Every structure is written in C-alpha cells, then in structure tokens.
Amino acid sequence: MNTIELQQAIKEYAESIGIDKIGFTTAAPFRELKNRLVRQQELGYQSGFEEKDLDKRTEPALLLDQAESIIAIAIAYPSRMENSPRGKKGERRGIFCRASWGTDYHTVLRARLRLLEAFIIEHVPTARVKSMVDTGELSDRAVAERAGIGWSAKNCSIITPEFGSYVYLGEMITNIPFEPDEPMEDECGDCTLCLDACPTGALIVGGQLDATRCIAFLTQTKTTIPEEFRDKIGNRVYGCDTCQTICPKNRKKHNLHQEVFKPDPELAKPLLQPILSLSNRQFKERFGEVSGSWRGKNPIQRNAIIALAHFKEEAAVPELVGMLQNDPRPVMRGTIAWALGKIGTEEGFVAMEKSLVTEDDSDVRIELEKALDGWKKKQLSKYQPIIEDVLKWRYMLHYLSR
C-alpha cells in the first residue's frame, strides 16, 4: 500500500470508528500561531491552563522525532437535549455547556485515536505516532484549521460546514508524509453576532479571546470570581455556549448521531441546591464521568451559589446561611455573602451581621461588608419617602404652632 492508498484507507477506517471528519497537514511549525500566542501573552489574555512552552505548542518536530505530518480529527457533539428539564421556584437548575454533555470527550477521542494509531501501525510497522486531545502541547484549533477541518471563526471556534462549531478536536503527529489538505476559506464575513452577544466582552475583533474575561474559563477557576462577572454568569455551572448558539452557521446543527455524547438531562441541567452539600466522593460518583468535573467540586459549588443568586432563590437561604457559618472555604463564604446580598432576605442579613463578628478572613469580610452596606442603603431608600413625610409634617406643625 503506498502513502496515497494508506491515506484513503485511513479516511475510510476513521469513518467506520465514528470519527466524523479527518484532515491532513504537514508537521511544519505554526509560525503565525506563535506570533499570536506571544501577543496573547503580552496582552495578558491567557487562561493559565495552556502549555507554557510556546515552542512546544507550535513546533511539532519538538514533540515527535522525524515528524512529517499531522492527522486532525473532529467528532461532533449534540447541541440539543431531548427531554430538557425545566427549573422552577424552589427547584432551580444550573447548566453545563454542551462540550460537557455525555461521556468525557477526552476519553472518547483518545480511544478512537488509539484505534487509528493501531490501524496505521498495522499497515506501516515502522510508523511513529503521537496523539493528543485538548491537553496536549499543540493547539487543536490551529491544526484543524490548517488540515481543512473548518475555518477559524471570530468566536474562536473551528466551524465545520457539516456540524457547525459543535465538534471536539484531536490530532496525531506521524512520521509518514501524507498529502496535506487545503485549509478552508473563512466564512464569517462581515458577521459580528458572536462578538455582540458575548456577555463579558471577551471576544476581541480579529478572532482573539481575552480568556480572563471569558465565562467558559472563569467557571473553571478555583478562586473568587471577580464581582463584575458574577451577574453575567447566570445559571452556568460550567462553561458558556453563547458565542456558539448565536452563530448562524450553527443553525440546525443538532448532531444527535453520537450516542456517547447524548446528555443525561439530570447531569447536564442539574438541580442546584443538592450540589451545595456534595462531598468529594459524592461529587465524583455523580459528575465524575463528565468533562466539566475535571477541576473537582469546588468551582461547581461556587458557581451553583452564583446561579442561586441569579434566580434570587429564597428557598436556598437557610442552606447558604449554614454554609456561611460552617464552611471552611473562604471562596464559598465570600461568594455566599454576595449571593445573600442579591437574594435579599432578612434571614440572610441577620446571618451576615452575625458572621461579621466572627469572620477572620479579610476577603470574606469585604464581601460581608459590601453586602450589608448595600442592604442598609436599600432599607434607607425604602423608608426615605416616610422620613421625608415625617419631616414635612414636623415642619408644618412647627410653622402652625408659631
């Protein structure tokens, strides 16, 4: 079998194992990407989750000896959930982004890449291969773009004509010189819908992302979320899909064919309150199979508190008060102080007054003081008309009695 025949055989085999799209590119360095990453670093737009070594991220030859080409793969994931449960008062629900529905895509893509590796080695025993998905050194998007999987869109996704941007990406570096595919034309044109719809202004013109403002990244951090973003997070407990759902290229791309990514509605749109009291073990048992659990329970619990505040869910106040008094994690106590301020019940404020006496974490104290200050101002403004009336009457009585 010559290289062209092998390439064709790989395409057919890939399809048979559930790989939706495959493309080939050379192992040449990604020079333009390197310039872009340097600019990202200078501007402070990075999430901190990336591989730090820019050479490794852009030079495939540093990752595999005698690298000749890269095989890019894409597997589509669903954009619609059947039987999507609806939240209601007392039973509010959060939402995981679509990329976290169904089985963890890292597991699925790695398994299919391993099958592809075995297929190649069976035909070329001297073949050398190195595969990666998401957490590898290379940029999945840069590889997919150059291998013609889709175009690099203004929402910083790869958009494929067949499945929209709802695709997981992975790649394999090989020492076989496959024929490269042509990159696709950019089809975003004059459209700016995703930039306009982004709740935090994280998308910068020119396909750049300020990850420090992006909800998808913020929901994965372990620290306190800056106040300016909390309202904008809404009920998202993991990730954000806004710049994808708004995209006209994603219209009618439901991608329901990969059974493995079919979401369990109770996991993809979980009830919020039960999340608050999960132990590490319970969290792992319940959410361990979905990719959104990779940072553990703390970010999800913090985001659930923010989501309960978004709904102003009064039924959650007793539990939040309990956590404010007993939870050892300052990030949770600080977020709860903000949430109780948003929900605005008397019970919440009495509890915050009490906590302020014993709280010794300076960041939590700041949150408590801010929330209590807001509450006092609100109370004052509520009684302002009455105070003004009383003063008016006092003045009139004083005037009449002269």
Interaction site with ligand SF4 (CB under 6 A): 153-155, 188, 191-194, 198-200, 202-203, 209, 214-216, 240, 242-243, 246-249
Per the annotation, the verdict on 231 as an active-site residue is no
Under 8 Å between Cβ of 25 and 37: no
Q: In this complex, which beta carbon is closest to ligand SF4, that of residue 184 or of residue 337? A: 184
Q: In this complex, which beta carbon is closest to ligand SF4, that of residue 90 or of residue 248? A: 248
> Within 10 Å of residue 337's Cβ, how many Cβ atoms?
27
Residue with tokens 């050398």: 128
Max CA distance (Å), the chain: 113
- What is the rounded CA–CA span in Å between residue 371 and residue 116? 56
- What is the rounded CA–CA span in Å between residue 77 and residue 262? 8
- What is the rounded CA–CA span in Å between residue 44 and residue 74? 30
Q: In this complex, which beta carbon is closest to ligand SF4, that of residue 69 or of residue 155? A: 155
- Shortest distance in whole angstroms from residue 184 CB to ligand SF4: 13
- Shortest distance in whole angstroms from residue 171 CB to ligand SF4: 22
Under 8 Å between Cβ of 172 and 109: no
Question: Which long-range contacts does 183-192 make (Cβ < 8 Å, 24+ apart)?
Answer: 183/145, 183/146, 183/147, 183/148, 183/151, 184/145, 184/148, 184/149, 184/150, 184/151, 185/151, 186/151, 186/152, 186/153, 187/151, 187/159, 187/249, 188/151, 188/153, 188/154, 188/159, 191/154, 191/248, 192/154
Of 20, 65, 134, 231, the active-site residue reads: 134
Q: In this complex, which beta carbon is closest to ligand SF4, that of residue 246 or of residue 356? A: 246
- HSE-CB of 75 using CA atoms within 13 angstroms: 27
Q: In this complex, which beta carbon is closest to ligand SF4, that of residue 3 or of residue 200? A: 200
| 91: helix, strand or coil | strand
Under 8 Å between Cβ of 120 and 10: yes
Q: In this complex, which beta carbon is closest to ligand SF4, that of residue 217 or of residue 261? A: 217
- Shortest distance in whole angstroms from residue 193 CB to ligand SF4: 4
- Shortest distance in whole angstroms from residue 324 CB to ligand SF4: 28
- What is the rounded CA–CA span in Å between residue 1 and residue 234? 55
- Shortest distance in whole angstroms from residue 287 CB to ligand SF4: 20
- Shortest distance in whole angstroms from residue 150 CB to ligand SF4: 11
User: Across the strands, what pairs with 220?
Assistant: none
Q: Which residues are catalytic?
A: 134
